[in-house]
Amino acid sequence: MSRPIVLLTDYGSDEFYAGVTRAVLAASSPASRVVDLTHDVPAHDVARASFILARAFDYLPANAVVVVVVDPGVGTARRGIVIEIGDRALIGPDNGFASDVLVTRAPARFFVIDDAATHAATGSRARGSTFHGRDVFAPVAAAIARGARALDLGVESDRAVMLRDVPSASIDGRRVTGVGRHVDRFGNILSDIPGALLRQVFGPDLAAVRVRAGDVDAGGLRDTYAEGEAGVLIALLNSWDLVEVAIREGRACDVLGAANPRDVRFELFEP
């Protein structure tokens, strides 16, 4: 039985690139279910793709083949890679897209995609240098979904590229800092600071912990958005067990002037 395939790209939901990639998968592995995680990662934002992948990882099918294409280096000497973690396979350019997943899950195996081996196994060949999602990563994913081994498509390596400062959380005494990693459609800013780290630093009771986001004091950690007053920035531990700031029926990113979530610094401390 063919394995399911998950797509995570910056192609945009209003472009035809994702549809063409899906068409290649349908032709090459017609029995695979294809899940569109999102095609709206901000263009070229590998760190955002890494964050999204890590949040979704535990909810993916246990044998999923995941194609991640956020590839500002397409056509250059950057490598293509297959990363095996348990029974899942992650496929994409070797540019750090799996950094958040790799820092929390081990062991992993890495395979550098070889063009000649891929052509021999799939019959596909890149048509130009600007659409490796269609020409390389989708055929590799389809082959693996049908039962090919990563070793049939490339050469084992001892590493993958990792992004710097990902995750962003750091500890300085009894103070935890980090940055925003994602702005959702509601304008909420999600950090990558986990509740588990806060409990490690401050103990199991976080009632006294306060949060500063940018230059704004967001108060203590809340449980729900409804606990905030309209127009007032609040902080909470969300359902990913990460620190987030939000405004009830408003947009935290606008108040904090954060077109890029990484521009927002989070600081957690006990007064």
Q: Is residue 165 part of a domain?
A: no
Q: What is the CATH number of the domain that holds 90?
A: 3.40.50.10790
Cα separation, 187 vs 183, in Å, equals: 6
Q: Is residue 163 part of a domain?
A: no
Q: What is the CATH number of the domain that holds 190?
A: 2.40.30.90
Q: Are 193 and 242 in contact (CB under 8 A)?
A: yes
Give me the pLDDT at residue 258, please: 86
Q: Find the domain containing 243 and state its range.
A: 170-269
Give me the pLDDT at residue 216, please: 96
Cα separation, 138 vs 119, in Å, equals: 13
Q: Is residue 137 part of a domain?
A: yes
Which region holds residue 231: left if phi is over 0, alpha if psi is between -120 and 50, else beta?
left
Give me the pLDDT at residue 212, please: 98
Cα separation, 108 vs 66, in Å, equals: 15
Residues 177, 148 within the same domain: no
Residues 213, 121 within the same domain: no
Q: How many domains does the chain have?
A: 2
Cα separation, 74 vs 173, in Å, equals: 42
Residues 18, 134 within the same domain: yes
Residues 140, 182 within the same domain: no
The parts of the chain modelled with pLDDT lower than 70 are none
Residues 137, 212 within the same domain: no
Give me the pLDDT at residue 162, please: 97
Q: Is residue 31 part of a domain?
A: yes
Residues 91, 21 within the same domain: yes
pLDDT, mean over the chain: 96
Q: Is residue 16 part of a domain?
A: yes
Q: For residue 82, which of 71, 92, 96 has the smallest C-alpha distance?
A: 92
Q: Is residue 164 part of a domain?
A: no
Give me the pLDDT at residue 126, please: 87
192: enclosing H helix or E strand: strand 189-194
Pick the last residue of a domain from 157, 184, 214.
157
Encoded tokens for 179: 């940055």
Pick the last residue of a domain from 132, 157, 182.
157
Give me the pLDDT at residue 236, please: 97
Those residues whose C-beta lies under 8 Å from the C-beta of residue 239, and which sit 6 or more positions away, are none
Give me the pLDDT at residue 62, please: 96
